[in-house]
Amino acid sequence: MDCLFCKIIAGDIPSDIVNEDEKLIAFRDINPQAPTHVLIIPRQHIATLNHLDVDDGELIGHMTLSATTLAKEMGIADSGYRLVWNCNREGGQDVFHIHLHLLGGRTMHWPPG
Ligand code: 5GP
Ligand code: ZN
């Protein structure tokens, strides 16, 4: 499958992995938008959030808890951080394998751009 993140999972494209388990991997974004910018992705290829079904709730919860654990380990939990899911073109999605952005280490602004 011609998917960038599946190639990262397979090890065909190198990445700076910060955590991994049987369900997911987490690695640093190549073009960080904050001092800490990690992507958490499922090993299973799911193209967009619109492709999730009711059985994926556990996976999504696991990804979220992985992000909050990483935030603590990376020292941004108390100062604050942002978790972002982009979906499809107007949502700002460029890679069509779902991923959760963990951003921190600076003040975030609202509304988002
Ligand atoms: P999206 O815009 O789809 O929500 O986010 C995709 C993210 O993947 C972007 O923040 C982009 O910088 C990151 N990215 C794209 N290609 C690579 C890559 O080859 N390696 C890593 N580590 N991140 C990538
Ligand atoms: Zn994929």
- 8 A C-beta contact, residue 8 and residue 25: yes
* Average pLDDT estimate for 56-83: 98
Q: Is the pLDDT of residue 1 over 80?
A: no
- Ligand 1 pocket (Cβ < 6 Å) reads 4, 13, 15, 27, 29-31, 39, 86, 92-95
* Average pLDDT estimate for 68-79: 98
Q: ∠6-7-9 over CA atoms, to 5°?
A: 65
* Average pLDDT estimate for 58-67: 98
Where do the structural domains in the chain lie, given as residue ranges?
Answer: 4-104
Q: Quote the CATH superfamily of domain 4-104.
A: HIT-like (3.30.428.10)
- 8 A C-beta contact, residue 6 and residue 97: yes
- 8 A C-beta contact, residue 76 and residue 32: no
> pTM for the complete prediction?
0.98
Instruction: Answer yes or no: 97 catalytic.
Output: no
Catalytic residue among 37, 45, 97, 99: 99
- 8 A C-beta contact, residue 58 and residue 23: no
Average pLDDT over all residues of the chain: 98
